[in-house]
Structure 1
Amino acid sequence: MIRPDGSAVTGLDATKTRVVGRPGEQLRLMAKIARMYHLRGMRQNEIAAELHLSQARVSRLLKRAAEVGIVRTTVIAPPGVQTELEEQLEQRYQLQEAVVVNVSGDEEAVIPAIGAAAAVHLENTLMGSEVVGISTWSANLLATVESMRPATTRVVEKVVQLMGGMGDPIAQVEATRIMTAFSSATGADPVFLAAPCLLGSASARDILTADPTLTRVTALWDELTTVLVGVGTLEPSPLLRSSGNAVAPDDQAMLRGAGAVGDVCMRFFDADGKPVDSSLDERIIGIRESQLRAVPRRIGVAGGLRKLTALRGALHGGWINVLVTDIDTAQALLES
């Protein structure tokens, strides 16, 4: 090839001149390589050998083919998979991850499906050496742990109870079921909190929490890597009501007057997710808000439109950063 000044063009200069001078040939080559790689399944070194090109150039042309639109990636979600809805929730509420279950109905109808989805999420993401905290008052969490399959290796070091679990004997049974089922599935050592959740006075709480038996448990709340929690409404669920730990009507009225709409681990918040300051906080034996927020991964498992206002508040306030919910609730969260 000869330049206009009469000098010869050789080597790399010649290659650059051919590319610039023949854009149609460049596009043809990109399309050919893209078809060989993506449709025929050939490796880059095989393409390079067949077309007498360097493998580095094949790699560059494949990258360029994607940049100019010759190659386009299309992801088609299988039926029932709500990846687009999940991404919208993640962006709207700054979540680490959202899992949306393709199930509709009232709260009781969606609980088994939400629990099963949360179980799969945990099976896929618990990587070992974790210290996990669990809120023990949630039908969703009970459905979750009972759906978990035993791990082939130990994926959690300890599972720690986040709230007191004694009151009515039914309460201790439910708390033990959740902790034991999770421990069995993950290989974790269970650490129970042998105390009531809600006491009659702040002084009674102070006396109990100073006991070394409890401090050995509560000290672990600062070591948590993941928490698994439900999201409660101001009106207690049937499970919480049966536990003997439900908030009394007078306290409910006080919380409602302060703007409370829901709770995580019996720490109440308003519609914007801001903590509600009340005397109830000082009567609770359970993880504090500051400790909860310090946990890197906070998985909330909740669904049903009855919980919409509480769930929206929990998301706005950053009480949870991973959400597992049903499709109706997810859509309502995006519409608000």
Structure 2
Amino acid sequence: MGSKDDRKLMIKIAQMYYEQNMTQSQIAEELDIYRTTISRLLKNAREDGIVTIKINYDSDHDFTMEEKLKKRFGLKEAIVVPVEKKQTQDMKLTAVGQACARLLQRSIRDGDIIGFSWGSSLAKMVDTLDPEAKKDVICVPLVGGSSGRLESRFHSNTICYQAALKLGAKSLMFDFPAIVEKNETRDDISRSRHFKEIAVLWDRLTVAVFGIGSMKLAEQSNWHAFYGDETVKELGDRRAVGDICSRFFDRAGNQVYTSLSDRTVTIDLNALKKARVAIGVAESLKKVSAIIGALRGGFMNVLVTTTETAEQILKRTDP
């Protein structure tokens, strides 16, 4: 700290700068002091505690929620997209998809292997990707197909191929259904050359983008068509709350194994934990329990969601 006169001068300059909103040039002219001296004394005023700067994070509600989500679940990043409750589901999905696309494009590095699941959120994300050229980037599906039980635009192969086109990347197709009829069929597939090529890429996965399914949406036709009524009932009995790439988990993030598990052609959820960037993208009040389970399971290190969904996630997990 300088002399008493220096301190008084710092207070005067700080008052003129912060309270009277004068520029450093105006202060220099009025006090007949070099502008560089004004800048130095303002810096000293902060260092000596004469001036303290407080950021009011609550002024940006979404930013505050992002920081809380990161801290509570140990995330690298959280993106909370502001939406109005009166907006349609399609508008909310579009907003989330756009945010996810921006996040993905700034996360990709040359040489990355990027995996994609299926679903409406990812379809919206791919639609809004900006065309660019990446070197040696490979896009790969993370889960088998839906065997005609899902609109083609939501299919993992479609999403993967379209993402590769936008990114100027290579892509592989996954020519197997997600759910097969017999365990033996799944074993035969796992021994095939094509599956082994995909499995090698899964082991080297650096970026993953996936949706999160919810048991609270099980009444919708997609779930029953995709998994069957008996499986949906079994999942309910075992207290599953959601799925990622057709792998199920409970509210605590523990994986739930069913009669379907050995007939599913998909990536192991533990492989997602090895990715440098694992982006879970989901929104809906009916998906809150599923998102919480996925966060607790550590299957993602980045979450993209909406304000109303984030509010409920934080509310239900408030210590």
Pairwise same-fold verdict (TM > 0.5): yes
Query: Structure 2 matches for 1:34-113, cutoff 5 A?
Result: 40=23, 50=34, 58=40, 62=43, 65-66=46-47, 68-70=49-51, 72=53, 74=55, 82-105=62-85, 107-113=89-95
Letter in 1 for 2:190: T
Q: Structure 1 residue aligned with 2:129, among 144, 148, 164?
A: 148
Q: What SS is found at the alignment partner of 1:300?
A: strand
Q: CA deviation at 1:278?
A: 2.4
Question: 2:207 matched to 1:226?
Answer: yes
How do 1:219-258 residues align onto structure 2 when only pairs under 5 Å count? 219-234=200-215, 235-236=217-218, 240-241=222-223, 246-258=226-238
Pairs aligned (count): 302
CA shift, 1:75, in A, is 6.8
SS in 2 for 1:291: helix
The answer as to whether partners of 1:34 and 1:65 remain within 8 angstroms in 2 is no
Is the 1:107–1:303 contact (alpha carbons within 8 Å) kept by the matching residues of 2?
Answer: no
* 2:113 partner amino acid: V
Structure 1 letter corresponding to 2:231: D
What is the distance in 2 between the residues matched to 1:108 and 1:317? 28
For residue 147 of structure 2, give the secondary structure of its aligned residue in structure 1.
Answer: coil
Q: Which moved more, 1:105-114 or 1:308-317?
A: 105-114
Paired with 1:142 and 1:156, the residues of 2 have a C-alpha distance of: 23
Q: Structure 1 residue runs of 4+, over 6 Å off?
A: 33-36, 75-79
Q: Distance in 2 between matches of 1:238 and 1:158?
A: 33
- Which residue is equivalent to 1:278? 258
Q: Distance in 2 between matches of 1:186 and 1:31?
A: 55
Residue among 160, 163, 174 paired with 1:182: 163
| Offset from partner CA, 1:145-170 (integer Å, 9 cap, x none) | 1111112x316610111001251175
State the match for 2:247 in structure 1.
267
Aligned to 1:9: none
Instruction: State the AA in 2 paired with 1:207.
Output: D
Q: For residues 94-145 of structure 1, what are the alpha-carbon distances to aligned partners after superposition, in whole Å with 9 as ceiling and x for unaligned?
A: 2111111111346444111111111122223323321111002x10000011
Report the residue type matching 1:206 in the other structure.
Answer: D
Q: Distance in 1 between matches of 2:108 and 2:16?
A: 39
> Hey, what's the Cα distance between the residues in 2 that align with 1:52 and 1:249?
75
Match of 1:127 in 2: 109
CA distance in 1, matches of 2:239, 2:275: 26
Q: 1:335 aligns with which of 307, 315, 319?
A: 315
- Secondary structure at the aligned position of 1:298 is classed as strand
TM-score, normalised via structure 1 length: 0.78
1:233-272 Cα shifts (integer Å, max 9, x gaps): 1245868459x6x111111211211111101111100011
Identity of aligned residues (%): 25
Letter in 2 for 1:297: V
Question: In 1, Cα distance between the equivalents of 2:239 and 2:82?
Answer: 32
Amino acid at match of 1:326: T
CA distance in 2: counterparts of 1:26 and 1:78, whole angstroms: 32
Q: Deviations over 1:64-119 (max 9, x none)?
A: 6245151526478998x721121121112221111111113464441111111111
Normalised by the length of structure 2, the TM-score is: 0.82
**Alpha-carbon distance between aligned partners in 1 of 2:81 and 2:23, rounded to the nearest angstrom:** 36
Aligned mates of 2:189, 2:71 — CA distance in 1 = 42
Q: Unaligned 5+ residue runs, structure 2?
A: 26-32
**Partner of 1:279: helix, strand, or coil?**
coil
Q: CA RMSD in A?
A: 3.2
Shift in alpha-carbon separation, 1:132–1:64, aligned structure 2, 3 A: farther
Contact 2:67 2:78 in 1 (8 A): yes
Query: Conserved in 1, the CA contact under 8 Å of 2:241 and 2:293?
Result: yes
Instruction: Please tell me the residue identity of whatever aligns with 2:208.
Output: V
SS in 2 for 1:178: helix
